[in-house]
Chains A and B, each alone.
Chain A
Amino acid sequence: MPPFRPPISGGRHEACRAGREAGMLKVSAIHAGYGPVQVLSGLSLEVSEGEVLCLMGRNGAGKTTLLRAIMGLIPVTDGEVMLDGEAISRLPAHEVPKRGVGLVPQGRRLFGDLTVAENLEVGLMTRGRGARVREHVLTLFPRLRERLGQVSRTLSGGEQQMLAIARALCLEPKVLLLDEPTEGLQPSMIALIRDTVRDLKATGVATILIEQRVDVALSVADRIGFVSAGKVAEVAEATALTVAAPQFQTYVGV
């Protein structure tokens, strides 16, 4: 039985839609790693406009390394990453976000000494975005509006995650990379993150989501890719999978 997908609320939906551009990411047989340690060995995948591709796999399979390679934070030694037909894998890391790729890293990683408003401001300035995008982001996460003057390191875990996503959305990304956004969050926050991913999907943002929770993956993803030993070993339509599907046991160990 496919997971229940609640309807998207109008305000959040519209907020996501505003100012968005279409985008698609294609990763072709990339090799990348840390110095002599090769983590990705010819990994390929593709995510289209408005699609959520969830990546699952055991620790060390190469999921986070893939996101770092897409962002240019580690060198791609072979293969290519294409965004809307443009090769981005040889660009300096600071150029990739300007092309429209946003990353929400694992563990939130905010600028802890800056307030919520200042964190958003830093996100907005890169692509010269202003009040309109800020307003849209705050419509998505009304709780952040109440915390604008608060130093971000004093936020709760869920609020920090909201801010991390909001900051990435300030770039108005065509492609959003989310690295375990529900890690360590309470159920209500997980539901909020899930709704946000759905809303972004509805507005055409292509999303790569790294997730360890099977229920979350099944409820938001269009496709699920199973990463093993630096490659995408198998890709399945989310609607074709259930919690008891053997792939979860084989590749994730749950």
Chain B
Amino acid sequence: MRDRALLSHLGLVAVLMAAHWMLPAYHHDAVAKVLVLSVYAMGYNIAFGYTGMLSLGHALFFAAGLYGAAMPLTLWGWTGGPALAAGLVAATVLAAAVGLLALRTRGVSFMIVTLMFAQAGYLTILYLGRWTRGDEGIVIAQPLRRIMGLDLSDGATRYLAALLLFVLGLLACLHLVRSPFGRVMVAMRENEERARMLGYNPFTVKLAALTLSGLYSGAAGAAYALMFGYAGASLAGVQYSILPMLWVLLGGAGTVAGPFLGCLLMFYLIDYASVITSATLLVVGVALVALVLFAPKGALGALRDRLGKEGRAWLP
């Protein structure tokens, strides 16, 4: 098979499919959650890893998907499908709107502006507690968590639905980064001025990438609400803006499968660390310091570099 990148990513999908039958219940649920959050990380990777936009406000888009799906379900009696679509639309539109304003800035200013937008969103969720239930959050009853007749509160169905979402996100991302637009995204990350000298408008390219990133984040948020039955303000906080950045850095920024690997590693790092100590963030901090020292391009980034030309073919 000539398309080694497609082969390697289909291999990952096959492993995850096999895991469905092999994993014990606890890990089955954990990996389902990782799959959904990986889609969020993939969205972050499109903005940061491929286009070079270091955002600290992606929790806003994740929360837009989350509440965009949860509120129609619980307040207005919508069914799962339309609620999922509402979450996607909410996050995508919000990402485009934020991009129109935030992309007038660059670098550190862009980080601060996106952080401010996310904090404004977080405070809005708390302020509108009558509908969002503030800190307490919205718990979505099991009968509402259905889509096309499938009960997403069922562990096996949830895993397969999460895997389907992940596969769609993974293959779409693989296609994107190998498309002409994907090259332009990387060109923009490498140097905006150089790209401009070749006739590309950085604002337009970055706005398109951020909007797409918002779509991914929203898809993950909406799916999270439906699959795990909860939409809370804690998921819109600054921590959920920083986490996807850490997942991407750990797995390998600018690699398609890196966000999944980073998310999986960090999930289990925190999980196992919590058995030993309550200071799990300290363990995460040590892991990140080690990463910066020994593999600054992340796990898959380092592997890709080590494999040379073959690495680029297998791990775009």
Contact = CB atoms under 8 A, between A and B. Distances in A.
Main secondary structure of the interface of B (DSSP, over half): helix
B201 A122 contact: no
B201 A92 contact: yes
A94 B201 contact: yes
A73 B194 CA distance: 10
B308 to A, nearest CB: 9
Contacts of A93: 196-197
Interface stretch (B162-170, B179-187, B225-233): B179-187
Contact of A171 (B195, B198, B202): B198
Contact of B198 (A92, A112, A126, A149): A126
B183 A97 contact: no
Interface in B177-231: 180, 183-184, 186-187, 190-191, 193-202
A108 to B, nearest CB: 10
B121 to A, nearest CB: 32
Interface string B274-316: 0000000000000000000000000000000000010010000
A113 interface: yes
Q: How many B residues are at the interface, by size bracket? A: 20 to 34
Contact of A126 (B200, B202, B254): B200
A150 B309 contact: yes
B190 A73 contact: no
A115 B311 CA distance: 13
Given A94-B201, A114-B190, A151-B312, A122 B183 contact: yes
Contact of B199 (A98, A105, A113, A121): A98
Interface string A113-125: 1110010011101
B309 A122 contact: no
Interface string B233-265: 000000000000000000000100000000000
A167 interface: yes
Contact of A111 (B180, B186, B196): B186
Contacts of B194: 105, 109-111
A180 to B, nearest CB: 16
A149 B190 CA distance: 18
A103 B198 CA distance: 8
Interface in A139-177: 149-151, 167, 171
Nearest to A127: B199
A95 interface: yes
A71 B186 contact: no
B198 A122 contact: yes
Interface in A36-68: none
Contacts of A109: 191, 194
Which of B190, B199, B254 has the largest count of A CB atoms less than 10 A from its CB? B199
A198 B179 CA distance: 35
B183 A121 contact: yes
A94 B186 contact: no
B252 to A, nearest CB: 13
A112 B190 CA distance: 7
B187 A122 contact: yes
B186 A125 contact: no
Contacts of B190: 111-114
A86 B254 CA distance: 41
B181 to A, nearest CB: 9
Nearest to A73: B193
B187 A126 contact: no
Contact of B184 (A98, A110, A125, A151): A125
Contacts of B198: 97, 122-123, 126, 167, 171
Nearest to B309: A149
Contacts of A122: 183-184, 187, 195, 198
Given A109-B191, A111-B191, A149-B309, A118 B183 contact: yes
A16 to B, nearest CB: 19
B83 to A, nearest CB: 38
Contacts of B183: 114, 118, 121-122, 125
Contacts of A73: 193, 196-197
B187 A94 contact: no
A105 B190 CA distance: 15
A111 B197 contact: no
B201 A111 contact: no
Contacts of B191: 109, 111
Contacts of A95: 199
Given A111-B191, A113-B190, A151-B312, A105 B197 contact: yes
Contacts of B195: 122
11 contacts: A94-B199, A94-B202, A103-B197, A105-B194, A109-B191, A121-B180, A122-B183, A125-B184, A126-B198, A126-B199, A151-B309
Given A110-B194, A149-B309, A171-B198, 19 more contacts: A73-B193, A94-B196, A96-B199, A97-B199, A103-B197, A105-B197, A109-B191, A109-B194, A111-B190, A111-B191, A111-B194, A113-B190, A114-B183, A114-B190, A115-B312, A118-B183, A121-B180, A122-B183, A125-B184
Q: 5 tightest CB-CB pairs across the interface, nearest first?
A: A126-B199, A97-B199, A111-B190, A94-B201, A98-B199
